[in-house]
Structures are given as C-alpha cells and as structure tokens.
C-alpha cells in the first residue's frame, strides 16, 4: 500500500521546472507508475482489480517516460501537449478507479473498515473536477491557473482518503 500511495502522489501532482523551452517534471509520473506497479504486485490476490491494471501501469509508465523525455528535450508542440495531457488524465482516471474498487473488494472480503465509501466519494469528485478542468482548459486558457488549483485540491482530498485507507489497512490486516 505504501508504494501505491507514493506512486499516486507522483502521478497526481505535477511540479514543472522550466529552463528555456525545456520542461522538467520534478515528480515524474513514470516513477509513480513504477511504484504503483510494485504496490499492485504486493496486493496480488487481494482483488482482481489490482491485477487487471498492472499491464496498463506498465504501458502508462513507458508512455509517461516518453512524454517526460520529449519535455526535457523541448520537442513537444502545444497541440501534442494537450493530446498528451488528455491521454494521461484518462489513464489516471482508469487506474484510480480500479485501485478504489480494489480497496472496496478488500473491505468487503475482510469486513474491516478501510474507508472505501469516503475514498469512492473523493474519487468521483476528483474525476468530475479533472474532467471539467480538461474540457475548460481547452477552451479557456486564462482560467487554467484557477482550474489547476481546484484540480490540485481535489487530488489532495483523494490522496488523503487513500492515506487513511492505507493506515486502516496496516493497522487492521
């Protein structure tokens, strides 16, 4: 669970440093997917949701490494950046869905309260806000800072709920 938590933090939060045309994401998502894969492997057998997304995590790790490399080499254009962000967002939504459902499976099997209900609620809020953010940022570039802050807060709530789930998991199982 610890690797899943750290992996999600790296995936959900982006901090870019710009040097001329070069952009370096300080918290690279490909490292997050690598850690996430390790965490999912540790939970093999606890839920089919965890094993179902492992191949996608590998694919997303390779994809995010390619995007990160393109940013470092400063060879991405604006249209490609928008498209890349949409693919990344879809990947995050799908992966976090399966992680959330996997937590629900563990809670149901063990009858131990892991905070699945709250985690599920925050996942829904996060997906809604992320989707609205992606759609509006395509149209209204000037409000993207406000939308970024709202999306960041939404991700923090989801990650906080997952942290509590992780704590319940280690305390009770």
Q: Where is pLDDT greater, at 95 or 25?
A: 95
Q: What is the pLDDT of residue 141?
A: 65
Q: What is the pLDDT of residue 31?
A: 97
Is residue 149 pLDDT above 90, yes or no? no
Question: Domain span at residue 75?
Answer: 2-172
Q: What is the pLDDT of residue 142?
A: 66
Q: How many domains does the chain have?
A: 1
pLDDT tens digits, one per residue of 106-145? 999 999 999 999 999 999 999 998 888 878 877 776 666 7
Q: What is the pLDDT of residue 143?
A: 67
Contact criterion met (CB below 8 Å) for 51 and 44: yes
Is residue 102 pLDDT above 90, yes or no? yes
b vs e for 69-99, b when ≥16 Cβ sit within 10 Å of the residue's Cβ? Answer: ebbeeeebeeeeeeebbeebbebbeebbbbb
Is residue 150 pLDDT above 70, yes or no? yes
Q: What is the pLDDT of residue 135?
A: 81
Contact criterion met (CB below 8 Å) for 30 and 68: yes
pLDDT tens digits, one per residue of 23-79? 788 899 999 999 999 999 999 999 999 999 999 999 999 999 999 998 888 887 777
Other Cβ atoms within 10 Å of 108 Cβ, number: 12
Q: What is the pLDDT of residue 62?
A: 97
């Amino acid at each position: 669970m610890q690797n899943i938590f750290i992996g999600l933090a790296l995936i959900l939060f982006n901090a870019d440093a710009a040097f001329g045309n070069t952009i370096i994401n300080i918290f690279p998502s490909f490292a997050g997917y690598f850690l996430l894969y390790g965490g999912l492997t540790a939970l093999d057998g606890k839920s089919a949701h965890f094993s179902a997304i492992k191949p996608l995590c590998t694919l997303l790790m390779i994809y995010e490494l390619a995007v990160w490399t393109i940013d470092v080499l400063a060879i991405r254009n604006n249209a490609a950046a928008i498209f890349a962000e949409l693919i990344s967002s879809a990947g995050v939504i799908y992966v976090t869905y399966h992680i959330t459902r996997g937590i629900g499976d563990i809670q149901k099997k063990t009858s131990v309260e892991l905070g699945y209900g709250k985690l599920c609620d925050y996942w829904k809020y996060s997906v809604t806000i992320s989707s609205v953010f992606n759609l509006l940022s395509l149209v209204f570039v000037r409000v993207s800072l406000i939308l970024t802050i709202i999306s960041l807060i939404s991700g923090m709530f989801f990650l906080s709920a997952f942290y509590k789930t992780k704590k319940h998991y280690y305390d009770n199982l």
